[in-house]
């Protein structure tokens, strides 16, 4: 009888855990929609604004090319989100080979306007032909958020530089994203760095969603994230894939 009760209690515990995980993923999906799609539409709005102002045909054609890049990325994001929304459990996550270098270059292309505005230098040191098995929607979102944040929180005192490298520390691999931006006071804010709606720099564009989303996506894939940062020097995020 006790064994039967223990078995029933274990089944209930497992069911509760599954429901809790499913609810958390649904919350994550809604944040992906509101955050990532907002970034794409903001880029489109910016480019259209430039198109309306320019009278230079060469510049107009270049802007149209950028608009096409952002539009294609938006379409791909929507495609990935449609797949993610249908996920029932973590084990059902769509996993496929992801070329890390290409994914980084794709995000750089989408963020081209912000990069040029800040005169930032994004250095992609990841091997060109190295792939990992990952969920494409999650990986795209993670890379986009960290590069976007590095640009957003760059320092006005120096040219922004963002470096992405892959560390081959047996298994798992570690993707590091380093910048020379304004940095984070980890002693003061470290315990709430990845909290929802937590912002630290008074940036009017900050919404406190990107890091929350990324951390949950990384952990859902069985990884973890570490951060090292110093005020007015820069920040390095290490993603254990």
The predicted structure's pLDDT at residue 209: 62
Could you tell me how many helices (H) and strands (E) the chain has, helices first?
7, 7
Evaluated on CA atoms 5, 6, 9, 15, the torsion sign reads negative
Q: Are strands 96-99 and 131-134 parallel, antiparallel or unpaired?
A: antiparallel
**Taking a C-beta distance cutoff of 8 angstroms, is the pair 154, 185 a contact?**
no
Per-residue model confidence as pLDDT tens digits over 86-138: 444 455 678 899 999 999 999 999 999 999 999 999 999 999 988 999 999 88
DSSP state of 83: H
pTM over 0.85: no
Cβ-in-10-Å burial (0-12, 13-18, 19+) of 234 comes to buried
Q: Which domains does the chain have, with CATH numbers?
A: 2-240 (3.30.565.10)
Per-residue model confidence as pLDDT tens digits over 47-57: 998 999 888 99
**Taking a C-beta distance cutoff of 8 angstroms, is the pair 9, 1 a contact?**
no
């Amino acid at each position: 009888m006790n064994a039967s009760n223990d078995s029933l209690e274990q089944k209930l515990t497992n069911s509760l855990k599954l429901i809790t995980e499913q609810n958390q993923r649904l919350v994550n999906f809604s944040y992906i929609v509101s955050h990532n799609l907002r970034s794409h539409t903001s880029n489109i709005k910016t480019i259209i604004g430039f198109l309306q102002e320019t009278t230079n045909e060469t510049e107009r054609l270049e802007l149209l090319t950028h608009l096409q890049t952002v539009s294609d990325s938006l379409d791909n994001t929507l495609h990935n989100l449609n797949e993610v929304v249908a996920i029932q459990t973590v084990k059902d996550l769509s996993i496929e080979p992801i070329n890390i270098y290409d994914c980084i270059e794709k995000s750089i292309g989408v963020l081209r306007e912000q990069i040029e505005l800040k005169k930032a230098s994004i250095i992609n040191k990841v091997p060109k032909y190295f792939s990992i098995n990952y969920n494409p929607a999650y990986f795209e979102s993670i890379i986009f958020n960290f590069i976007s944040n590095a640009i957003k929180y760059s320092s006005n005192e120096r040219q922004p530089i963002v470096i992405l490298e892959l560390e081959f520390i047996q298994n798992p691999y570690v993707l590091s994203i380093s910048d020379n931006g304004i940095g984070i006071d980890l002693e003061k804010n470290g315990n709430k760095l990845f909290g929802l709606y937590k912002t630290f720099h008074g940036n009017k564009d900050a919404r406190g969603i990107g890091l929350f989303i990324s951390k949950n996506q990384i952990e859902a894939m069985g990884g973890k994230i570490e951060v090292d940062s110093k005020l007015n020097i820069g920040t390095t995020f290490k993603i254990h894939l």
